[in-house]
Amino acid sequence: MKMDLSGYGLSEEQYELAGLVRSFADDVVAPVSYEADRTKTLPMDVVAQMGEMGLFGLPFPEEVGGQGGDYVALGLAIEALARVDQSIAITLEAGVSLGAMPVFRFGTDVQRSELLPDLLAGRALAGFGLTEPEAGSDAGATRTTARLDGGEWVIDGAKQFITNSGTPITRFVTVTAVTGERADGRREVSTIIVPTGTPGFSVGPAYDKVGWHASDTHPLTFEGARVPEANLLGERGRGFAGFLHILDEGRVAIAALATGAAEGCLEAAVDYAQSRVVFGERLGTRQSIQFMLARMQQRVHVARLAWLHAARLRDAGRPFKVEAAIAKVTASDAAMDNARDATQIFGGNGFMNEYPVARHYRDSKILEVGEGTTEVQLLVIARALGVA
């Protein structure tokens, strides 16, 4: 079963892009997904092919090496990949939203010219160092510090759960750090680029995760790590505010990823219901299964509408914070609910990791946590209503 995207107001170019990436996902990504998950290995040859296709440069202008697309285009690509492999989809999502986008948004001309070409071509990846052992949803509680000494930032602290931070092509991580105190007594938080291999900067062993096994995720430690003063990214003291905007965009992309996961579960469940014979009849002839599949389709449709709306607002230069939060909650709920229902339809086979629905069942939980928990999204929505 394949979804029809013709009713979502896509341009001809966007429609063709979605079809191209879906074919790539089916023909290249899906055949290696189980083995990558089993061995907990990011398939770098797949990442390289994604780079050659221009996927990492989709929402960036051509003058900086991008494809001249937008966030709708990026979301369509992420959704297409997530249908078959969430680990590959999050590698693209984080590589763009969390790796390259901060440099594009806040970097100097020198930083952009030095870093963006390889990032947008998929020849390099970068991490986004925000979360800490004691600063997750409360990211403002950052304890990592950076002080100026002889024209260099000296960084001390730790980050955790950092995607794309330890791959063979990881070029740098951008970290938030307390760089001083404001006149009103509040802490000054800035962002600093720390290249891979910097003395005092160490990447810990990969996490043993419940899901997203093929995605690269590590803890980071900084012990007197020194980088040039020019590695400051954006305005000093504006690091946290800048990253909040980056997270809003990331939530749209995560919503697209979750929609793809929900769709992948639906596609697999429909195919299984049509082929599986139980008590002499196809499973899909049972009304209880039909209703379950109908609910799954409903969730995919609504989730796609939600992220497309948020992405189109973003691309039009209009406020989209609340719509991004709504999209993320809607789509992550859809992914979790569809993964549960698909696993139930598959029965015992749904508990076997060889089947994509089993991997979606494990993978989808993090969609309710990463880049802002469901509770944080609900708080954003409630604040917009004036009740929080």
For position 137, what pLDDT does the model report?
67
Q: Give pTM, 2 decimals.
A: 0.95
For position 139, what pLDDT does the model report?
62
Instruction: Give the CB-side neighbour count of residue 51, counting CA atoms within 13 A.
Output: 19
Average pLDDT of span 143-154: 96
Query: Looking at 79, 267, 368, 371, which residue is catalytic?
Result: 371
**What DSSP letter does each residue of 310-321 carry, written as one string?**
HHHHHHTT---H
Measured distance CA(302)–CA(348) in Å, rounded: 29
Q: pLDDT digits over 358-377, tens only?
A: 999 999 999 999 888 999 99
Phi, psi for 318 (deg, rounded to 5): -100, 160
Domains and CATH numbers, the chain: 12-125 (1.10.540.10), 126-238 (2.40.110.10), 241-385 (1.20.140.10)
For position 104, what pLDDT does the model report?
97
**What DSSP letter does each residue of 204-258 carry, written as one string?**
PPPP--SS-TTS-EEEEEEEEEEEEGGGEESSTT-HHHHHHHHHHHHHHHHHHHH
The CA R_g of the chain, rounded to the nearest whole Å, is 21
Phi, psi for 173 (deg, rounded to 5): -125, 145
For position 141, what pLDDT does the model report?
80
Q: pLDDT digits over 83-97, tens only?
A: 999 999 999 999 999
Q: Are 89 and 78 in contact (CB under 8 A)?
A: yes
* Residue count (the chain): 388
Helices (H), the chain: 12-24, 30-39, 44-52, 71-82, 86-93, 101-106, 109-120, 239-275, 287-315, 321-346, 356-363, 374-385
Q: Are 220 and 129 in contact (CB under 8 A)?
A: yes
Beta strands in 132-231 (DSSP E): 145-149, 152-163, 170-181, 187-195, 201-203, 217-228
How is residue 215 written in tokens? 């995605």
Dihedral of CA 87/92/97/101: which sign?
A: positive
Q: Is residue 183 predicted with pLDDT exceeding 90? A: no
Higher pLDDT, 109 or 246: 109
For position 350, what pLDDT does the model report?
95
- Active site annotation includes 371: yes
- Mean pLDDT score of the chain: 95
Q: pLDDT digits over 229-280, tens only?
A: 999 999 998 887 788 888 899 999 999 999 999 999 999 999 999 999 988 8
Angle between the 287-315 and 239-275 helix axes, to the nearest 10 degrees? 150
For position 21, what pLDDT does the model report?
98
